A = this chain, B = another copy of it.
Amino acid sequence: MTEVNRQFVLVKRPQGLPGPECIEYREGPVPEPGDGEIVVRNLYLSLDPAIRGWMDEGEGYRDPIALGAVVDGVTLGRVVKTRNPDYAEGDLVTGIHGWADYTLSPGSLNSTRVPADPPFPLTAYLGVVGPTGLTAYFGLLDVGKPQAGETVLVSAAAGAVGSIVGQIAVLSGCRAVGLAGTEAKCRWIVDELGFDAAIDYKREGDHLSEAIAKACPQGVDVYFENVGGPVLQAALDNLNVGARIPFCGAISGYNAEAPVPGPTNLWQLLVKRARFEGFLIADFAPRFGEGMEKLSAWVAEGKLRYAEDIVDGLEQAPQAFLKLFDGSHSGKLIVRIAEDA
Residues of A within 8 A of B (CB): 59-61, 228, 247-250, 253, 259-280, 283
- Which residue of chain B has its CB nearest to the CB of A248? B270
Question: Chain B nearest CB: distance from A277 CB in Å?
Answer: 4
In the complex, which residues of chain B have a beta carbon less than 8 angstroms from the beta carbon of A264?
259-262
Cβ–Cβ contact A269 & B263, under 8 A: no
Which of B59, B248, B271 contacts A59 (CB under 8 A)? B271
A253 to B104, CA, bound (A): 53
Copies in the complex: 2
Cβ–Cβ contact B249 & A61, under 8 A: no
- Given A276-B276, A277-B276: A262 and B271 within 8 A (CB)? no
In the complex, which residues of chain B have a beta carbon less than 8 angstroms from the beta carbon of A274?
277-278
Question: Chain B nearest CB: distance from A282 CB in Å?
Answer: 10
Cβ–Cβ contact B273 & A275, under 8 A: no
Which of B247, B262, B280 contacts A263 (CB under 8 A)? B262
Cβ–Cβ contact A283 & B278, under 8 A: no
Which of B60, B263, B276, B283 contacts A275 (CB under 8 A)? B276
Question: Chain B nearest CB: distance from A278 CB in Å?
Answer: 3
A268 to B58, CA, bound (A): 11
- Given A261-B264, A262-B264, A263-B262: A273 and B269 within 8 A (CB)? no
Cβ–Cβ contact A269 & B261, under 8 A: no
In the complex, which residues of chain B have a beta carbon less than 8 angstroms from the beta carbon of A278?
268-275
- Which residue of chain B has its CB nearest to the CB of A270? B278
- Which residue of chain B has its CB nearest to the CB of A61? B271
